[in-house]
Amino acid sequence: METNRKVTFFQLLVATSLLALSSGGMFLAGQEPPDAARKEYPLAKNAVVTPASSLIKVDGRLDEEAWKNAAMLEILYEWQPGENTPAPVRTEVLVTYDRAKLHVGFRCFDPEPRKIRAHLMDRDAIDTFIMDDHVSLMLDTFNDERRAFQFRINPLGVQADANFSELEGYEDFSWDAIWESAGRITDFGYVVEVAIPFNQLRFPKGGKELTWGFEADRSWPRTVRHRMSTHVRDRDRNCLLCQFNKISGFQHISPGKNLEFDPTLTVQRSDVREDFPGGRMEAGIVKFDPGITARWGVTPNLMLNATVNPDFSQVEADAAQLDVNTRFALYYPEKRPFFLEGADFFLTPLEMVFSRTVADPLWGGKATGKIGANAVGVFVTQDRINNLLFPSNQGTGMVSLDDDAWGGVFRFRRDIGRNSTLGVLYTGRAGDDYSNQVLGADGFLRLSRTKTFSWQALYSSTDYPEAVAARYGQAADPFSGYALYGSLRHDSRNLIYLVSYKDLGSDFRADFGFVPRVDTRSVTVNIHPVIWGRPGGWFDRLGFQVVGTRVTDHDGNQTDIEGRIGVGYDGPLQSVLQVFLLSNKILYQGVEIERTFQSGYLEMKPRKGLWYWLYWEAGDAVDYANARPASSVLLNPSLEIGLGRHLNLNLNHIYENLTLKGDRIYLANLLQARLIYNFSVRSFLRAIVQYSDVKYNPVLYSYPVEEREKGLFMQLLFSYKINPQTVLFLGYTDKGIGTANIDLTRASRTFFLKIGYALVR
């Protein structure tokens, strides 16, 4: 019976591959469509931007004399779901500047203004933000078609900003700039006004005329989410920035002194129940923690950052993750401002720079900039904690040492030709009887309109303290390792495919990066055909996916092999449905485990202020704690509701039931609720509750386990932000734990106050 299932799945995989490759008259892999088959689109329009003829007040009215003389572009093309069809609504984009700021205004016309979707929220709450009507602009200030700054604004003036890197497909909304925006809903639609100080951007130095890449975009969510732009987006070109409009002018602009000082003060008291669970809650010491971060733009294209005792307090709780039955270290994104400045300068194909490895820095310094075709990034830190990962083929070990660790990163990348690059990277960490160094080279090559090739080669040298090496099974003497990566990618209108190879030596370590698994050689082939619908049809986009991956260790043992087929649907009511069938075989702790399971994702945004989604997995699973096959059902539903313009509720639940021949191994539930009341674009009051409950069956474990583990995390936070650095946070957190024999009991609580101020010159 097992053999029949494997044959059936293999036949289905082959049949789907043939169907996918034949869908829509697609060309064979490796071939370009002939020129005669390519659509000819109009060239992006360029504009000359002139200085503002009057002072401008950012109030969302566009009534100053300067706007009458501003350069104007129109958002003429819908690129999703339509394919460069006429925009269904009219949008005017006005651009001008003064010596210190870029000014952009939007007039967004709407046939039914009452249907405009607009809510108050915290800046960069991007998942909620994209549910609203909004406009955006992107600036390629070096006009090198590699990086851009992105700014988004909704009709009430709520901001979101991001760094965008073309080569890595990197869009990071954690980056923050200090800029002004205002929005106003009118009888014809809405108006947005933006002023971006030049000291928040990077651009070539000198007083001569500059040319920047420029895109203005509008999102108009109704039955479907219409996305429109000032330029066409050719689906047979796999670069975005190369299709931008160009705006020129900007003579004699100045970032001013380009100095920014951000002093902070955090006051905190943590109370802990020392003798849990029956002891008293012992009041902690009130800690005053001052710090300062400074930024100096030596030139418009070279930035220095320094910090002493920086405030890296996490006022935003990490997203809840279920840390049960996992093999490898969990990943948490960076949120700390010092590391986010210029983070795109340190990107490489493999994540060799993961700044959350710096846990508690005493000080830090950074320099990032671009001079001609050369981009350079350097930063150094002294950390009061040394976090180490011990990766292997089978899992990840980890330890935090209460030792100082000094670290540094050097990154250099040179532009080659129109859209290619070559780079080098060095990272190093050192402490008491400890060191780790990584040196490597990488490249990104644009082979054609649709094909790119990226690669990276790395060498590491590591020396662990003798006690650490003995305890965690690491080499006692200094050792070295290597890593190799190569990827060929094709992106066209109807076909995406990827072929990649990754080789991580068993002794490779990257303690400044995030490498939770080594001792692997893997090959992945991903074929992804796409069929586009017609505007107003029953689907906007149909995608098919066939993926195969094979992993071996360096002794030649096959440790993983996986085949996956799937189909994806985008349609009315902003609906998305993705369904996958997977079959894999893994070698874990000497046991070969086969499994077939199904997964899927469904989401809808049917009306203003409503978004719900569901992720699921069901079928065979692996019980990693006991190295054996099992069965699992995992459900992850989520609901977000905007109650009027001010109130937002988000509910997220993770349910997982792992069984062995019908008997429960564990049953896990993790619930997170977030309720936010936004007083204005600057202030909100937020409550978060995270509750976890895991019930184990001790009889089915080969080692002692608690029958039940419960946890409760609560946070209440008041936030007032004039800008990302001028802030007031006042909050309270409460943590409780429990077991089968102990009721859920408060274990600790924390009161905190943070004040930050941005002094910009």
Work out the pLDDT band at 530, boundaries 50, 70, 90. Answer: very high
In 226-250, which positions are buried (b, 16+ CB within 10 angstroms) versus exposed (e)? bbbbbbbbbbbbbbbbbbbbbbbbb
Mark whether 245 and 358 lie in a shared domain. Answer: no
Work out the pLDDT band at 630, boundaries 50, 70, 90. Answer: very high
CA distance 76 to 54: 28
Q: Does some domain include residue 107? A: yes
Give the Å distances, CA to CA, from 252 to 255, 672, 734, 741: 10, 51, 54, 72
pLDDT of residue 316: 53
Q: Does some domain include residue 751? A: no
pLDDT of residue 43: 81
CA distance 172 to 166: 12
Ramachandran angles phi, psi of 298, nearest 5°: -60, -45
Q: What is the full DSSP assignment across 152-195?
A: EE-TT--EEEEEEETTTTEEETT-----EEEEEE-SSEEEEEEE
Which of 201, 233, 184, 213 has its CA nearest to residue 80?
Answer: 233
Q: 105: which 2 tokens?
A: 């205004």
Mark whether 204 and 347 lie in a shared domain. Answer: no
CATH number of domain containing 146: 2.60.40.1190
Mark whether 223 and 370 lie in a shared domain. Answer: no
Work out the pLDDT band at 402, boundaries 50, 70, 90. Answer: confident
pLDDT of residue 40: 76
Q: Show Cβ contacts of residue 556 under 8 Å, excluding neighbours closer than 6 positions.
A: none
pLDDT tens track for 105-115: 999 999 999 99
Last residue of a domain, one of 487, 515, 543: 515
Q: Show Cβ contacts of residue 468 under 8 Å, excluding neighbours closer than 6 positions.
A: 388, 399, 401, 434, 474
CA distance 249 to 70: 12
Structural domains counted in the chain: 2
Mark whether 352 and 210 lie in a shared domain. Answer: no
Cβ atoms of 667 and 684 within 8 Å: the answer is: no
Rounded to the nearest angstrom, the gap between the alpha carbon of residue 681 and the centroid of all alpha carbons in its chain is: 23
CA distance 225 to 606: 11
In 482-493, which positions are buried (b, 16+ CB within 10 angstroms) versus exposed (e)? ebbbbbbbbbbb
Full 3-state SS string of 109-164 = ECCCHHHCCCCCCCCCCHHHHCCCCEEEEEEECCCCCCEEEEEEECCCCCEEEEEE
Mark whether 44 and 182 lie in a shared domain. Answer: yes
3-state secondary structure of 147: strand
- Asked whether the CA dihedral 60, 174, 385, 405 is positive or negative, the reply is negative
In this predicted structure, the answer to whether residue 604 has a pLDDT above a threshold of 80 is yes
Higher-confidence residue of 438 and 337: namely 438
Q: Which segment of 134-138, 165-169, 196-200, 481-485 scores lowest on mean pLDDT?
A: 165-169
**Side chain identity at residue 309, one-letter code:** N
Q: Which segment of 136-140, 355-359, 609-613 scores lowest on mean pLDDT?
A: 355-359
Mark whether 337 and 225 lie in a shared domain. Answer: no
Q: Does some domain include residue 69? A: yes
Q: 387: which 2 tokens?
A: 């976090």
CA distance 213 to 148: 8
Q: Which segment of 139-143, 385-389, 460-464 scores lowest on mean pLDDT?
A: 385-389
Cβ atoms of 399 and 359 within 8 Å: the answer is: no
Mark whether 378 and 492 lie in a shared domain. Answer: yes
CA distance 761 to 750: 36
pLDDT of residue 319: 55
pLDDT of residue 311: 63
pLDDT tens track for 365-397: 999 999 889 999 999 999 998 989 999 999 888
CA distance 495 to 237: 12
pLDDT of residue 3: 38
Q: Which segment of 113-122, 395-404, 406-415 scores lowest on mean pLDDT?
A: 395-404
Rounded to the nearest angstrom, the gap between the alpha carbon of residue 184 and the centroid of all alpha carbons in its chain is: 30
Higher-confidence residue of 14 and 506: namely 506
pLDDT of residue 320: 59
Q: What is the DSSP letter of 51?
A: B
pLDDT of residue 10: 41
pLDDT of residue 215: 97
Cβ atoms of 566 and 548 within 8 Å: the answer is: no
Last residue of a domain, one of 221, 249, 277: 249
pLDDT tens track for 439-457: 999 999 999 999 999 999 9
Average pLDDT value for residue range 22-41: 47
pLDDT of residue 312: 52
Q: pTM above the 0.85 mark?
A: yes
pLDDT tens track for 237-278: 989 999 999 999 998 888 888 899 999 999 999 999 988 888
Mark whether 378 and 466 lie in a shared domain. Answer: yes
**CB neighbours (10 Å) of residue 595?**
18
Mark whether 141 and 245 lie in a shared domain. Answer: yes
pLDDT of residue 342: 81
Mark whether 458 and 373 lie in a shared domain. Answer: yes
Last residue of a domain, one of 455, 484, 515: 515
Q: 751: which 2 tokens?
A: 């009161």
Q: Does some domain include residue 287? A: no
Mark whether 381 and 245 lie in a shared domain. Answer: no
Mark whether 211 and 88 lie in a shared domain. Answer: yes
Q: Which segment of 220-224, 329-333, 363-367, 696-700 scores lowest on mean pLDDT?
A: 329-333
CA distance 526 to 16: 13
pLDDT of residue 38: 57
Cβ atoms of 701 and 625 within 8 Å: the answer is: yes
In this predicted structure, the answer to whether residue 435 has a pLDDT above a threshold of 70 is yes
Q: Which segment of 335-349, 571-585, 724-738 scores lowest on mean pLDDT?
A: 335-349
Q: Which segment of 198-202, 312-316, 541-545, 638-642 scores lowest on mean pLDDT?
A: 312-316
- Direct distance between the N- and C-terminal alpha carbons of the chain, in angstroms, rounded to an integer: 74
CA distance 297 to 303: 5
Q: Does some domain include residue 98? A: yes
Across-strand partners of 398? 389
Q: Does some domain include residue 659? A: no
Residue-averaged pLDDT of the chain: 90
Q: Does some domain include residue 469? A: yes
Average pLDDT value for residue range 546-556: 96
Cβ atoms of 369 and 305 within 8 Å: the answer is: no
Tokens 């846990």 correspond to: 359
H/E stretch holding 10 reads helix 2-22
Bridge-based pairing of strands 245-249 and 210-221 is antiparallel
Higher-confidence residue of 300 and 496: namely 496
pLDDT of residue 9: 43
Q: Does some domain include residue 488? A: yes
Provide the domain limits for residue 141: 36-249
Rounded to the nearest angstrom, the gap between the alpha carbon of residue 189 and the centroid of all alpha carbons in its chain is: 32
Q: 418: which 2 tokens?
A: 């129109």
Percent of the chain with pLDDT over 90: 76
CA distance 262 to 258: 13
